[in-house]
Amino acid sequence: MSTTPIPIPPDIGRSAGPLLLGYLFNWGLYGVLSVQVYLYYIGFPKDRLSAKLMVAGIIMIETLQTILVTHDVFNAYAAGFGDLNKLNDAQLEWLATPIISGIVSCSVQIFFAHRIWGISGSIYIPILVTSLALMQGSAAIGQGVQAKIIGNFAQLQVKAKTTATVWLAGSAACDFIIALSMTYYVRISRKETHFKRTNAIINRLIRLTIETGSLTATVAIIDIILYLVFPHQDYHTAPALTLAKLYSNTLLVIFNSRLRIVGGRDNDDNSVELGSLGSGPFNTRNIDNTASQSRAAVSFIKPMERRLSVNGINIQKETWTDRDSEVDHKIPHASIVDARYASAV
């Protein structure tokens, strides 16, 4: 006996559209992340084991999320095409979105808390950031457990409002504190910096911190606003499906900030100019007008520079080792801050 199909409502785009956009953004950001991981792999083979393990863990968990998301979108838009129950079914989203997003965001935020501690020497802000990260990560896992039990997008937004609010609000607050505190501490130490090369490193660190922290905080705020203002719609699923990938890309952007294209647009008067593209061995020329200060900066920071070729693009790589933190007694104390930031990028 055949059954009469449920007619598709005229406003189906309000339910299907946000989910589809979220899936597309998730896939696109996974592609960006894959390129970032590849650049890190070929660019920094001598980084510390902890950094390599973190990058490996990030790409593994993000690959898992992409597989889960692909499974759900296939069931909703292909195998279950036209079935509104399939479209509204949470399927594996309870694991793919809140739990994985909470784990990734918590890990990245704790990483930044460690960086803040290394830069500032104070434990108060890092403890606050770590506490907020653990709180929002736990709330995200709780949201995932509730989503698994409820199993329906419409009911989830009504029955699991508390955990979702703590998760998203805590994440946004944590990102805001990270961006604010990193910028504050770096700018304070920048007043004591005397080397142009180190100034360029610090400026890049400030810019990246503000941009990445503001981006993740903004998306989390948009997510929670859509979640609270439209409790019976799935609008919030679009930004929610991108959160984990944004945090992962943020981490890799910080790691890969040491890569600079030779002759690229990010080079300025504060950087070291290398030989032109296609030339022979490097002819490194420091553009600092004070020769003695330049020699002190080079001998102190001691970057190991190497040119990489990625699809025809020549890249300057800088890697700092633990020995770079050793300070000669003849170098002024103000220079110690310079090297600390150079090694913390």
Q: Is residue 68 part of a domain?
A: yes
Rounded to whole angstroms, what are the CA distances from 131 to 109, 126, 171, 302? Answer: 10, 8, 11, 36
Same structural domain for residues 84 and 224? yes
What's the structural domain count of the chain?
Answer: 2
CA 246 remoteness from chain centre: 5
Q: Is residue 1 part of a domain?
A: no
Rounded to whole angstroms, what are the CA distances from 292 to 62, 195, 288, 327, 328? Answer: 48, 11, 9, 17, 15
Phi, psi angles (nearest 5°) of residue 282: -65, 140
Q: Is residue 4 part of a domain?
A: no
Closest CA to 74 of 11, 19, 155, 10: 19
CA 64 remoteness from chain centre: 17
**Residue 316: strand pairing partners:** 260, 307
Same structural domain for residues 249 and 306? no
Q: Which of 258, 289, 322 is the last residue of a domain?
A: 258
Q: Is residue 2 part of a domain?
A: no
Same structural domain for residues 206 and 321? no
Residue 174, domain extent: 13-258
Same structural domain for residues 195 and 337? no
Q: Which of 239, 258, 277 is the last residue of a domain?
A: 258
pLDDT at 83: 78
Rounded to whole angstroms, what are the CA distances from 130 to 112, 134, 234? Answer: 9, 6, 30
Contact 251, 111 (CB under 8 A): yes
Q: Render 183-251 in DSSP notation, one character per residue.
A: HHHHHHHHTT---HHHHHHHHHHHHHHHHHHHHHHHHHHHHHHHHHH-TTS-TTHHHHTTHHHHHHHHH
Q: Lay out the sheet containing 304-310: strands in order across.
A: 260-261, 313-319, 304-310
Q: Is residue 5 part of a domain?
A: no
Same structural domain for residues 225 and 285? no
Same structural domain for residues 206 and 328? no
pLDDT at 193: 53
CA distance 8 to 121: 60
Same structural domain for residues 161 and 285? no
Same structural domain for residues 253 and 277? no
CA distance 343 to 322: 8
Same structural domain for residues 106 and 252? yes
Q: Which of 233, 258, 283 is the last residue of a domain?
A: 258
Closest CA to 267 of 285, 280, 250, 251: 285
pLDDT in tens, the chain (345 residues): 445 556 677 778 888 899 999 999 999 999 999 999 999 999 999 999 999 999 999 999 999 999 999 999 999 898 888 777 788 888 898 999 999 999 999 999 999 999 889 888 889 999 999 999 999 999 999 999 998 888 877 677 778 889 999 999 999 999 999 988 888 887 776 555 566 666 777 777 777 878 888 899 999 999 999 988 888 788 998 999 999 999 999 999 989 988 877 766 655 544 433 333 333 333 333 333 333 333 333 333 333 334 444 444 444 444 444 444 333 333 333 333 333 433 444
CATH value at residue 188: 1.20.1070
At 136, list the tokens. Answer: 């929002």
Q: Is residue 7 part of a domain?
A: no
Q: Is residue 6 part of a domain?
A: no
The CA R_g of the chain, rounded to the nearest whole Å, is 24
Same structural domain for residues 230 and 290? no
Same structural domain for residues 108 and 213? yes
Closest CA to 66 of 113, 39, 32, 114: 32
For the beta carbon of residue 181, count every other beta carbon within 10 angstroms: 23
pLDDT at 336: 35
Same structural domain for residues 194 and 265? no
